[in-house]
Amino acid sequence: MRAGLIQLTVGDDPAANLPATLGLVRQAAAAKAGFVLTPELTNGLSSSRAHQRSVFRHEEDDETLSALRAAAKAAGIWLLIGSLGLLTDDADGRFANRSFLIAPDGSVTARYDKIHLFDVTVSATEVYRESEGYRPGNRAVVADAGFARIGMTVCYDVRFPALYRRLAQGGAQVITVPAAFNHITGAAHWETLLRARAIETGCFVLAPAQTGFHPEAGGRGRKTHGHSLAVAPWGEILADAGTEPGVTLVDLDLAEVEKARGRLPRGMQLSHFSVLNHLARVNDERTPAQLARSFHVTRGAMTNTLTKLEWAGHVHIRPDWEDARQKFVAISPSGRAARDSAVASVVPLIAEVVQTIGADKVRALLSVLRELRISLEGDGG
């Protein structure tokens, strides 16, 4: 599937913004993109609640939504409308920041309201209180788009990994992050956050963004980061749109999702692998206290890890028949297989590192690392 990420520089007038958006959607479709994505607040950016109230519409009356649905149908494409600012019937008058997944027949397949709202003081002159104007959503959404299952998020959601874990657990293969990311926080965190979400979920992450300076009535405005990104499930950057409006194309191979997830057993965490690797290496039982000392963690933390490993069937925990207060932990055949699989998955990566920095430098580090490990393990091993 070819995806087309649309990068926009919208103003605060939805009617004035629409022609450029439609033009880029058609451009992406003409370039054979079957899945086209627009940024957060495609219909318009404004810091004035009064102005938003005058130009936003309810979903059923929104001209941007109806025009983009018609464009998707005309082109026969899947379209992710990153989000639209919409009026609601809430008593407090707050708006919805709503993302839409549109099917090739123009119907609305799924809706998602942004859950995490941007209430942040970026600098002395840039203060955002999104929750004063927008109501938060309250549910995670994974939708079937035929070619893939799509997990839907918006902008500031990207800082909350628990949401992304829920989407992956719900079967998401592609996660969308349409955004109007602030230019200061964007320069610092945008790429890092998107790559982290891709790596931890094993999903493609597609993040169409607003870019540049967005003028508002009254002379005000704001600046967004741009750099719409497409990230592979293993964390590689597949495409970066830079800072100009336009369309960025990327081809998605959904087989990469399972390939990335298969490199480490599902649910394998570094702390879990470390304990399994230790037990496999010593090839003997250890008490939870010994393991806690070996890894310089509390007994409580080690107990939590061992409980999860026991649930997964990766360790056996038995009582000490001579002391009812004591237990012994041993790696199970399943745990040994999981550990071996994880080791096999990282061997190619280690080979890449050796090739990149040189075997001599790696060899020089080994003796230092060995001494460090022995020192840290002490008599707890």
Question: Last residue of some domain: 262, 294, 324?
Answer: 262
Residue 192 sits in the same domain as residue 295: no
Instruction: Work out the average pLDDT over 300-309.
Output: 88
* Rounded CA separation 53/88 (Å): 10
Q: Which has more pLDDT, 263 or 277?
A: 277
Residue 135 sits in the same domain as residue 169: yes
Number of helices followed by number of strands (H, E) in the chain: 12, 18
Residue 257 sits in the same domain as residue 281: no
Residue 256 sits in the same domain as residue 279: no
As for how many domains the chain has, the answer is: 2
The residues near 35 (Cβ < 8 Å, ≥ 6 apart) are 1, 2, 3, 4, 77, 78, 79, 80, 145, 147, 252
Residues 225, 229, 231, 237: is their CA dihedral positive or negative? negative
Q: Which has more pLDDT, 365 or 202?
A: 202
Cα dihedral value 80, 205, 26, 107, nearest 10: -20
Q: Which of 130, 155, 203, 256 is catalytic?
A: 155
Would you say residue 54 has pLDDT above 60?
Answer: yes
Residue 380 confidence class, pLDDT cut points 50, 70, 90: very low
Would you say residue 3 has pLDDT above 80?
Answer: yes
Residue 88 sits in the same domain as residue 42: yes
Residue 355 sits in the same domain as residue 251: no
Question: Last residue of some domain: 262, 296, 331?
Answer: 262
Residue 334 sits in a domain of what CATH number?
1.10.10.10
Residue 203 among the catalytic residues: no
Residue 13 sits in the same domain as residue 160: yes
Best-predicted range by mean pLDDT (192-196, 271-275, 361-365):
192-196
Range of the domain at 314: 270-380
Q: Which of 114, 130, 203, 256 is catalytic?
A: 114
Residue 40 among the catalytic residues: yes
Residue 114 among the catalytic residues: yes
Q: At what angle do helices 299-311 and 270-282 cross, to 10 degrees?
A: 90
Question: Last residue of some domain: 208, 227, 262?
Answer: 262
Residue 247 sits in the same domain as residue 283: no
Residue 106 sits in the same domain as residue 206: yes
Residue 92 sits in a domain of what CATH number?
3.60.110.10
pTM strictly above 0.75: no
Q: How high is the pLDDT of residue 184?
A: 86
Question: 38 near 25, Cβ under 8 Å?
Answer: yes
Bridge partners of 108, per DSSP, are: 102
Residue 379 confidence class, pLDDT cut points 50, 70, 90: very low
Residue 63 confidence class, pLDDT cut points 50, 70, 90: very high
Instruction: Work out the average pLDDT over 186-212.
Output: 93
Residue 341 confidence class, pLDDT cut points 50, 70, 90: confident
Q: At what angle do helices 63-75 and 14-30 cross, to 10 degrees?
A: 10
Phi, psi for 147 (deg, rounded to 5): -80, -20
Residue 247 sits in the same domain as residue 317: no
Residue 239 sits in the same domain as residue 113: yes
Q: Which of 40, 130, 203, 256 is catalytic?
A: 40
